[in-house]
Structure 1
Amino acid sequence: MLTVRDLHAYYGKSHILQGVDLDVGTNEIVSILGRNGVGRSTTLKAIMGDPAPQGDIVFKDRPIAGFKPHDIARAGIGYVPEERAIFPSLTVEQNLLLGLKPGQKEGRWSVDETWRLFPQLRDRADAPGGALSGGEQQMLTICRTLMGDPDLIMIDEPTEGLAPQMVERIGELLQEIAKRGISILLVEQRLVIAMRVSHRVYVMGHGRMVFDGTPDELMANEKIRQEWLEV
């Protein structure tokens, strides 16, 4: 589905990504783990074209490095930023409908599916997005991206700052997304959630991947966990 090789990215003169390699297969949930500041979020942003990437990015057998972000979205990659970026003055339903692409036919996700899975959003369909709790805004942002029917969705820190109950709901949503044939590339700080939902995990350190394997393989690798994950 997605292949990234020797990916480099810069913010000004700062060399953030220093040769990132990663793969995401069809129907696969892949998580990028690591401490803050190692380049996890920048990896997702570079795949989306901002900052400009240097290296090879192939999505569904099509090179996309150098494409504009909107063209990458139209190619079938959805992106949920860490800051959520909902429109606070628009209603919940209006925010969802903004996720539809021009001329799009019915996809794997719909407004009705959102209401079914998240009755609390249905109950607040006419409320402004800015009136939602942080967890509700996170669900809204993910579902808005799904309305565009991506084949791959990249999600940056979906559980940050959320209450434990809402963290569980986000975990359930990620598994529901994968069941519908949508691949997921996840940046996640909570090791427990990432290990539970992921098929494979990467550990990132200093702008490159230092581990690639299954959750069980990571749990068995105490050296990697101590050096790159544990405080």
Structure 2
Amino acid sequence: MLEVRDLHAYYGKSHILQGVNLDIAAGEVVSLLGRNGVGRSTTVKAIMGEVPPQGMIRFKGQDIAGLPSYKIARCGLGYVPEHRDIFPGLTVRQNLLLGIKDVRRPGKWRIDGMLEMFPNLAARADTPAEVLSGGEKQMLTVCRTLMGDPELIMIDEPTEGLAPLIVQQVGDLIVRIAQAGVSILLVEQKLSIAMRISHRVYVMGHGRIVFEGTPAELRENRAIRKEWLEV
């Protein structure tokens, strides 16, 4: 579904991505792991068109490298940024409505269904989103992206700064998204959640992919974990 080959990206003169290759198949959950600053967020931003990419990016067979972000989103690619962008002055319900890309074509995700899944959001459906907790804002950001009915969703650091109970809920949400047939690229630092829900994992180091395999293969590869993941 998603093919990335020899992807390079720069911030000014800084060469951040240095030939990244990755693949995500339909219905697959893939995690992109690594320490802070190795290029994981830049990878998803380059795929989404927020950072100018150099290289091949194909989604469902279509070359999307360099397209504007809104056109990439219309192709069926969703993106949940790490900074939990919501519209604080709008209600939870209004934030969800803004995620719909085509009102003429009903998608598999509906507002009523979202609120049913998350009672906390339902209780505040008509409340300004600025009053939500950090975990509730994260849930709202993911749900708003789902309202656009993506076929693949990229989620950047969804558990950053959240309490352990909320981390578990976020993990359960990602599993539920996958069970609905949506492919997922998860950028995550917490190994526990990534290893629990992923079919495959990539490990990044210094702007390159240094490991690709299953969670079980990563558990067995102590050298990779020690050099690129452990603090």
TM above 0.5, yes or no, is yes
Distance 1:59 1:220, change over 3 A: same
Distance 1:30 1:60, change over 3 A: same
**Secondary structure at 2:173's aligned position in 1?**
helix
Q: Match for residue 105 of structure 1? A: 105
After TM superposition, where is structure 1 displaced by more than 3 Å over at least 4 residues in a row? none
Q: Match for residue 133 of structure 1? A: 133
TM-score of the aligned structures, taking structure 1 as reference length? 0.99
Amino acid at match of 1:119: P
Q: Match for residue 13 of structure 1? A: 13
Identity %: 68
Which stretch of structure 1 is more off in the superposition, 107-116 or 140-149?
A: 107-116
- Once the two structures are superposed, the pairs formed by residues 86-165 of structure 1 within 5 Å of their partners are 86-165=86-165
Q: Take 2:109 and 2:102, find their aligned partners in 1: how far apart are those partners?
A: 16
Q: List alignment gaps of at least 5 residues for structure 1.
A: none
C-alpha deviation, 1:104, in angstroms: 4.3
Q: Match for residue 168 of structure 1? A: 168
Q: Match for residue 34 of structure 1? A: 34
Distance 1:38 1:90, change over 3 A: same
C-alpha deviation, 1:102, in angstroms: 3.4
Q: Match for residue 85 of structure 2? A: 85
Distance 1:39 1:159, change over 3 A: same
- CA RMSD of the aligned region, Å? 0.7
Q: List alignment gaps of at least 5 residues for structure 2.
A: none
**Secondary structure at 1:67's aligned position in 2?**
coil
Q: Take 2:104 and 2:71, find their aligned partners in 1: how far apart are those partners?
A: 15
- Once the two structures are superposed, the pairs formed by residues 193-204 of structure 1 within 5 Å of their partners are 193-204=193-204
Aligned length: 231
**Secondary structure at 2:223's aligned position in 1?**
helix
Distance 1:104 1:217, change over 3 A: farther
Amino acid at match of 2:118: F
**Secondary structure at 1:10's aligned position in 2?**
strand
TM-score of the aligned structures, taking structure 2 as reference length? 0.99
Q: Take 1:8 and 1:224, find their aligned partners in 2: how far apart are those partners?
A: 23
1:167-226: per-residue Cα shift (whole Å, max 9, x none)?
Answer: 111000000000111000000011000000000000000001000000000000000000
Q: Match for residue 44 of structure 2? A: 44
